[in-house]
Structure 1
Amino acid sequence: MQKTILDFVMIASVVIGYFISIALITTTFYKNRANNYLALSLFIIASLTFFEWPNAILETVVFQLIINFRLDFLFAASLFSYFLIQIKHQLIQHVWFKLIYLPFVISVSLELYLFLFDHYGSELDVLLYFIKDFASIGFNILMILWGKRLVQQADTISEDKKRWLLRLNRYIYITIGIWVLTRVEFFLYQSFYSAYLLQSSLSMFLWWVLYYGIFRLQLITQKEELHALLGIQKNTGSRTNLPAKKINNEKTDELISELYRVMEEEELYKNPLLSRWEIAARLGISEGNLSMIINQNINKSVIQFVNDYRVETAKDLLHDSRFDKYSVEAVGMEAGFKSKSAFYTVFKSNLAMSPGAYRKLPKRS
């Protein structure tokens, strides 16, 4: 029964892996140069997962030839390329960079030689098999560690994107560790029990990538694009739909002016983790005094005051046709909301309609 469930999960994972690969290169929301390499990597992972399935009927010459090509060489190279593009590293521009695909080319060439000259089953065949097996493991480890180091040193990407890339790197590293374990078990005990662990790991990886890996990263990417586009369009004036300033005395006047300045010029509200303490610290007052000043002069709580800015920003983006290609959730993230649910709840509370419905209203060009 357990084996049947594992087989089902494996088959579903392979199908999802192929589906994601196709979606990445055909869907407008995901289509970009980096995702082309990620699509290739996922296609290879799905194929390797299928090849590791004990029940797969892979006895045909074509399947055996493809397996012996060692797609894992190609996986390491394509995933490393993906990392470089994401962090905008200059290595991707060098001509010699393409040499990272040389191990795969050599592996394919050797396999074709063995096949065309009928050397299958010979001592040379056995020797090359072990050489390619160990070389592939070493090459994958080298690429994943090199990629990790470059991501950690990158200063061209946001912390959100860096965390995602390092998380992806860590998952691959764990999978490679299990892969090494399967080889050690085979050589020492001629058994394949850990192969089921490897199969499960590959399957879990594909399921994880389905949502968190792909969708969340694309939202982060869209948020960064929005942020860059808006960087040259900052409106430092107060927004027309925001609460009017109510000044009671000279000290309050100074604090309210500084509060509006940090919110409008520095766009403090775009920090999804912005706290009452952080705003109070910027003004040099206590949290209690901050709440009292905003409540007495603006008739709002601190969170309501901050969310007003976020909603106004979201409205501007949703009602501007130039930003139609960006998802509603990406707009919410750029406006400063921490999650989709928080964005929808606050937006609907303020405007009595969802962000999606607001976007469908007549827009300015």
Structure 2
Amino acid sequence: QHIIEIDGVKDVRLSDLTLTRAEGSQDTELAGINVERSEGVEIRGLRIIENRSPRGCIVVANCKEMRIDECTIRNYKTMTIDDRTNNPELSGYAFRSVDGTGIKVHHSQGIEIVGNRIIEDRYLPTKEVRDEYKLGDLTIKPEKPGRLMPQDVFDTGYTNNWHQGAAVQVSGPEDTDRILIRGNYYENAAQGMDIHADHVIISNNLIYHAMIGMKAMHGAKNVLIDGNQFVAADLWGLLLMPGSASHGDQPEAENETSKAPNIDGGTIVSNNLFSDFGYGGQNWNWADRQPEYPEQNVIAILFGQLEENPPLRTVLITGNLVYNSGAESEEDEIETRYNYALYLEKERQPAPVNIKVVNNHFEPGKKGVSNVDLE
């Protein structure tokens, strides 16, 4: 069972506890703290150690006006199967992965995540760990690839996208709204923050060693990303794009209600600092590939996953610094490991529209400052 379960309560505070699981049961399918259908709950000053679960360590679902602050979460990932067979049209395959999320929020409104420390130091994304657990090997392979299954994964029976989860994930994009994520510290996450929500403020967080510093997609609208430090990301520092869950108006169909648009955009990316790109723990897994998606760019503004996705629109990128740690000294044996400071998709559809880039300081990568003219 979950270590603590909270369901259907109002105005409850949980504080100043240390929670863990007994030796031998620390790899689990269950949460450390599971909160559902509640309002006004505060979780403060907790230490949750060795609750290693793909479900998440602190899980919040269908809640309102909740705050999680000054908690420490250490070692929340586990070995599992990432099963994507429930929608064979899109994926239809499953693979061995290391997965886990520190704080997971979905289908909730008015949530604050402030001043937490989320650290993984047990399952790190090394070649040795990959080989020991056969990470990336397909366990289910479809007869033909789904629309989101890369052709090379279908051909080889292997995906290098085996590092899953996030320090913080906020999802349920159709109804998750009004989220504040401020002043948190993340270390060795697959993704520092994975955002699928509207009206989000993300400020003054420090992301240290991640495959992806953060991404916002699947209908992430009106997101303010300001004043964060992204240190040693390996695939992307910041990724914005429409996802498979993004859609325009959906008229009422048989046995289904109509849906309002779930689009991406109206976002500001300002005053963020990116450094040491490619010097996290997983550069070895992403370097020197010829992928479908433009990889190893510090800031990436990409096309939709599906042709029918509405394009990402109306984004302001200003006041950001991309620092090339590989250019500090001619005597240093440090190489530049990113292609562009900014990659902005212009050709593949649905391509982003109305993107304004102004007053940034971008040091060039291996291919230059950007794939587009920023003058």
TM-score (norm 1): 0.21
Greater share of residues in strand? 2
The structure number with the bigger radius of gyration is: 1
TM-score (norm 2): 0.21
Q: Which is bigger in relative contact order (C-alpha 8 A, separation at least 6)?
A: 1
Greater share of residues in helix? 1
